[in-house]
């Protein structure tokens, strides 16, 4: 926590404008990412699937480093930073269903062993 405070965690500026994404479907932006609804870390959390690259940007729905606990490996982020841990665990199903080969998490290293293996590892970690 001390490192996060030193890095400016207490002075993060808020957003000024918000645009809602659809709960599913492709976005009309370059790369045509597909929205994958993964609530839990936040109630509106989503990932972005780049189907042609077999890559899922998971954000904080599944991470390979928990910055709060320092644990390494696929997992949901610590309960202190998650709106609803049960919901986050249920959202792992949506991640597995993508069939993505590569996961790009919001924290930690990329995961190259596929969504199903990452979800299995995250479930083994259990709720933080």
pLDDT, tens digit (0-9, with 9 covering 90-100), for 55-79: 999 999 999 999 888 999 999 988 8
Number of domains comprising the chain = 1
CATH at 46: 3.60.15.10
User: Is 7 among the domain residues?
Assistant: no
User: Is 18 among the domain residues?
Assistant: no
User: Is 8 among the domain residues?
Assistant: no
Place of tokens 């965690």: 9
User: Is 76 among the domain residues?
Assistant: yes
Q: What is the pLDDT of residue 90?
A: 94
Interval 63-119: pLDDT, tens: 999 988 899 999 998 888 889 999 999 999 999 999 999 999 999 999 999 999 999
Q: What is the pLDDT of residue 52?
A: 94
User: Is 86 among the domain residues?
Assistant: yes
User: Is 20 among the domain residues?
Assistant: no
Whether 127 has a pLDDT exceeding 70, the answer reads: no
Cα separation of 81 and 68, whole Å? 8
Cα separation of 124 and 75, whole Å? 8
Place of tokens 């970690």: 125
Tell me the pLDDT of the chain averaged across its residues. Answer: 89
User: Is 11 among the domain residues?
Assistant: no
Cα separation of 23 and 54, whole Å? 20
- Domain limits at 51? 26-125
What average pLDDT does range 30-52 have in this prediction? Answer: 93
Coil, strand or helix: which one is 111? Answer: strand
- Name the pLDDT band for 18 (thresholds 50, 70, 90): confident
pTM, entire model:
0.82
CB atoms within 10 A of CB 60: 21
């Amino acid at each position: 926590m001390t490192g996060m405070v030193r890095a400016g965690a207490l002075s993060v500026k808020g957003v000024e404008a918000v645009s809602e994404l659809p709960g599913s479907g492709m976005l009309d932006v370059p790369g045509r990412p597909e929205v994958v609804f993964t609530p839990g870390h936040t109630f509106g959390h989503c990932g972005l699937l780049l189907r042609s690259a077999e890559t899922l940007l998971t954000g904080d729905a599944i991470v390979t480093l928990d910055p709060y606990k320092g644990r390494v490996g696929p997992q949901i982020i610590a309960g202190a930073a998650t709106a609803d841990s049960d919901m986050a665990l249920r959202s792992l199903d949506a991640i597995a269903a993508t069939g993505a080969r590569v996961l790009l998490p919001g924290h930690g290293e990329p995961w190259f062993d596929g969504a199903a293996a990452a979800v299995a590892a995250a479930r083994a970690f259990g709720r933080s």
